[in-house]
Amino acid sequence: MDAPGSLGARYRARRWDWLCAAFPGLDRMSVIDLGGTAESWHRAPVRPARVHIVNLEKPPADPPPWLRADHADACELPEEILAGGYDLVISNSVLEHLGGHARRRMFAAAVHRLADRHWVQTPYRYFPVEPHWVCPGMQFLPPPARATVARHWPLVHTPPEDRAAALRAVLDVELLSRTEMREYFPHSRIVGEKVAGLTKSLIAVKRS
């Protein structure tokens, strides 16, 4: 799914096309990416004037001048970041990993405060294939069954070392519905990214 030329790579490229079309001045913007990585911006087809990535992972050791990276929780951002004066908030495939409704509300509040514009993408709960394990219907199973699938499904990226790790992994993923996205982003356009006529992911887009 992550290899160049793969189906996943083609979907990401198409998403970049949509992003650039939605924000044609992206190359002149100051962007904060909640949950983003330096690697993804190095591969990006467009480079904003300034990019600030916020992630729970260790920041890159030597970022380029146009990129800032901070280790922080996007649901509990420090005031210095919240007051950063950004043009656009971007987040891809993060909302489903935050750990419940209350934290998703905190995340959405931060998005609204950081900038007038945003692009927040998350996989759609009712797409028939669970995207993290690429397994049909896995998201509709009870947690013990999902943990079993996580340990044995052949398309998993990195098989968990034991059942406890598998259970933690599946509980870390809570796919969202369109109703939930409208609740968190009531003034945004909720766009469906489709595959074979079915909605694969949801994107909350606010242009101003």
> Over the stretch 25-83, which tens digit does the pLDDT of each residue have?
999 999 999 999 999 999 899 999 999 999 999 888 889 999 999 999 999 999 999 99
Q: Is residue 178 scored above 90 in pLDDT?
A: yes
pLDDT at 4: 53
Q: Distance between CA 195 and CA 119 in Å, rounded?
A: 19
pLDDT (tens digit per residue) in 182-201: 999 999 999 999 999 999 99
- With tokens 């995207």, the residue in question is 131
Query: Rounded mean pLDDT of 10-28?
Result: 89
Q: Is residue 179 scored above 80 in pLDDT?
A: yes
- The Cα-based distances of 175 to 58, 121, 179 in angstroms read 25, 11, 12
User: pTM for this one?
Assistant: 0.91
